[in-house]
Chains A and B, each alone.
Chain A
Amino acid sequence: MFEIRSRTQRFILQLVVTIAIIPFLIPLVTMVQKSLEGEGWTNYVDVMKVPGFGRFFLNSLIIAGCSIVLVLLFTMMASFGFSKLRIRNKEVYFWLMMAALTLPEVVLIAPLYVTAVRVGLLGTYWSVILPIAALQIPFTTLITRAYVDGIPDALFEAARIDGASTWQSFWYILVPLARPMGVALGVLVLINAWNSYLLPKMFLINDSMGTVTLLPEFFKRQYNDDTPKVLAAAVLTAIPEVIAYIALQKQFERGMSAGALK
């Protein structure tokens, strides 16, 4: 983007960017530093010794996994519908969904506890998965619709002429082409589901169903939190997310780019 005409210019650009990057590192370094205070690496060992440690990761994985599947499926279907199919008063439906996007979460999860209890979902994974999915779908549909808009209608026309059903168009044309977007959505939903704290705390009342975000609780006391261990737990919680991001980085960029454009 910037044309570099000389080695000096290149050096300056490199320098400026490097300096600009430093503020982003500072809080991360501080966090790891503080997590090593007190007993040092033993803090991490203690966190891993928490009973059910592995189980918590598994639960988080289950919740994140199901949320991702649910969101991907419903989002793809909805964007397909909004973008490629005919619906009477389509825009009304679309804007109703988008209006939900503008809502502060406080308004949303209010009666969920009551509903969960009355429907008997309290203490099951669904009481957490469904709200997480519901809150992601408006945003994911918004950006996926733009992406699907960019897939030429001609492809679907051709398929229809050849006699393909709507379902076949969806499955054999849209889904493969929308894969980069799907990956992007997967990362976004993963982050939100993995970091979800209070939903699991309130709805997953069985001890064996806790998620990784509840790990720091073991080191919080009424007054005197064991801060280094709390931070160690936090670092351990964050590592899978960072790894997932790095691994999927390229795919993510490709997906997001098409989605952001109108």
Chain B
Amino acid sequence: MKSRLFAAVAASALVISLAACSSATSAQAPAVSPATSGEVSWWGWTPDTPVAQKYIAAFNKEFPNIKVTYKNYENVDYRNAITPALDSGTGPDIYDISPAGGSPETWGSYALDPSSFAQTTLGSDWQNKFGSGYVKELTNSDGKVTALPLGGMTAGFLWYNANIFTAAGATLPTDYTSWVTACQKIKAIGKTCLAMGAGGQDTFPTELVHSIANSVDPAWFLNAATGKAKWNDPQGIEVLNIIKKMSDDGIIPKNVLDNGQYPLANEEFMKGDAAMVQMGYWYAQYSGAESAKTAMTSAGVTNPQPFVQMPLMFPDVAGKGNGSAVFGEADYGLAINKASKNVGAAETFVGWMTMSKNGQQNVANAIDLIPALNGVEPDWNSVKLVDQAQQQPAIAKLLSSSSATTQTRQWQTTDTTLKAIVVAVQQVLDPTIKKSVTDIAKQMQDSSEASTVGK
């Protein structure tokens, strides 16, 4: 008698296509040339509807006769809605696919292989025209490219509130000791040092673990994820111990398990109550003057006065001189539904978004995604930041180092492993759990599942 939320979600996912299932064999894009008119539907968990509408408006300036309708789903709803839709043949013409969680496997079979289309547009070395590894990350195990990348994402660094640091007289941390000192100064003026939320089932805590791991041993995290190393190797135990220390020494706040990163950490940071937060490149958009105001209002601030938000490399907490490498991959790509009745128009739209300078310029200017196409940079004249002088060079620098990542973010880590890491972090941070770090690490290893992707 209560809400059907749960039931319907589970149910719709338990659907078997009773009609003949679409086979998993790849299909090259038929020789359909891009059309200049038609109607196209697009489903995705990202971008947000207002952003998508901006993209579509820009697209319509060049192709006014193609009507694009975007439908946004929340992450989980998307996964459960897209499968029955694609199965039944009533699905969208264009849909998002991300490298993470095996999506190319699960939904790639419904998509056209855009390789020949991309080749026509960008030439025979079209794969290299995109960010390093992006196309590979969107290829399924049959070797079929399932989508063209729209943008990439990196994480493994922090954002800080420059106003708070100035007010507290604190210096930016570069290693563990300096971080503790900075936190003491920040807490002295009544602010939280690091906003963080590790409750629930979101996988944000894994980014913290990945960053700390990179400072302990740069190769270990991905080795453990792909089964070449164990999660309870000495490196793993050291990572968990560092997290425990961070909580004891006041870097990680006491309310960390009250809720997930969103909304807990985000709201605290946006309200101006916290000095630092660990978020990825997508957070750069809040350096924008307008976006900062909107975000602060959403967090519940009346009459917001935007603060100066700046990126900061993750401190070398293990103190071994490894720094902490940033990690990233394609964030998502646009796939064309094989069963679509508007393939021509879909190709035009996808091509414009992913492979044209204008389309990618839009992506770059939003400072939310890293443009998938190489050589496209934000047009800083049209991007208004809160403090242009301070933030612009910092973000530009972040962008260029993001394009040069060598580690992937979630492509090579299974969902099971991510969940196991989250549970381990929660066990370490929960004051009422008395398990030893060795036991927690062992449980993390036992509940994880090695990834076979990409090797």
Contacts and interface: CB of A to CB of B under 8 A. Distances in A.
Answer whether A and B are interacting partners.
Answer: yes
Interface of A: 34, 37-40, 104-114, 117-118, 122, 131-132, 135-136, 139, 188, 192, 195-199, 201-202, 205, 217-218, 220-229
Contacts of B17: 114
B204 to A, nearest CB: 10
B45 A222 contact: yes
Given A222-B47, A227-B299, 15 more contacts: A34-B300, A38-B297, A38-B300, A38-B301, A38-B302, A39-B302, A110-B11, A113-B12, A117-B90, A132-B4, A139-B1, A198-B12, A217-B74, A218-B49, A227-B267
A196 B45 contact: no
Interface of B: 1, 3-12, 14-19, 45-49, 72, 74-75, 77, 80-81, 84, 87-88, 90, 262-263, 266-267, 282, 295, 297-302
B16 A188 contact: no
A39 B88 contact: no
B15 A114 contact: yes
A220 B300 contact: no
B231 to A, nearest CB: 27
A60 B17 CA distance: 30
A43 to B, nearest CB: 9
Given A37-B300, A39-B302, A226-B298, A111 B15 contact: yes
B199 to A, nearest CB: 16
A112 B301 CA distance: 43
Contact of A109 (B12, B49, B74): B12
Contact of A225 (B6, B16, B75, B263): B263
Contacts of B263: 225, 227
B3 A114 contact: no
A122 B297 contact: no
What's the dominant secondary structure at chain A's contact region?
A: helix
A104 B8 CA distance: 11
A38 B298 CA distance: 7
Contacts of A40: 302
Contacts of B74: 217, 220
A188 B47 CA distance: 38
Contacts of A39: 297, 302
Contacts of A106: 6-7, 10-11
A73 B9 CA distance: 29
A195 B1 contact: no
Nearest to A198: B8
Contacts of A196: 3-4
A108 B7 contact: yes
Given A106-B10, A188-B1, A223-B262, A114 B298 contact: no
Residue from A40, A139, A198, A201 whose CB has the most chain B CB atoms within 10 Å: A198
Contacts of A37: 300-302
Nearest to A222: B46
A136 B1 CA distance: 7
Given A105-B6, A198-B5, A224-B298, A114 B88 contact: yes
A112 B3 contact: no
A198 B4 contact: yes
Contacts of A112: 8, 11-12
B158 to A, nearest CB: 17
26 contacts: A38-B299, A38-B302, A104-B7, A106-B6, A106-B10, A109-B4, A109-B7, A109-B8, A110-B12, A111-B16, A113-B11, A113-B15, A114-B84, A122-B88, A196-B3, A198-B4, A198-B5, A198-B7, A198-B8, A199-B8, A201-B81, A202-B12, A217-B74, A222-B45, A225-B263, A228-B300
A224 B9 CA distance: 22
A203 to B, nearest CB: 9
Contacts of B77: 198, 201
A145 to B, nearest CB: 17
A237 to B, nearest CB: 12
A117 B297 contact: no
A225 B298 contact: yes
Contacts of A131: 4
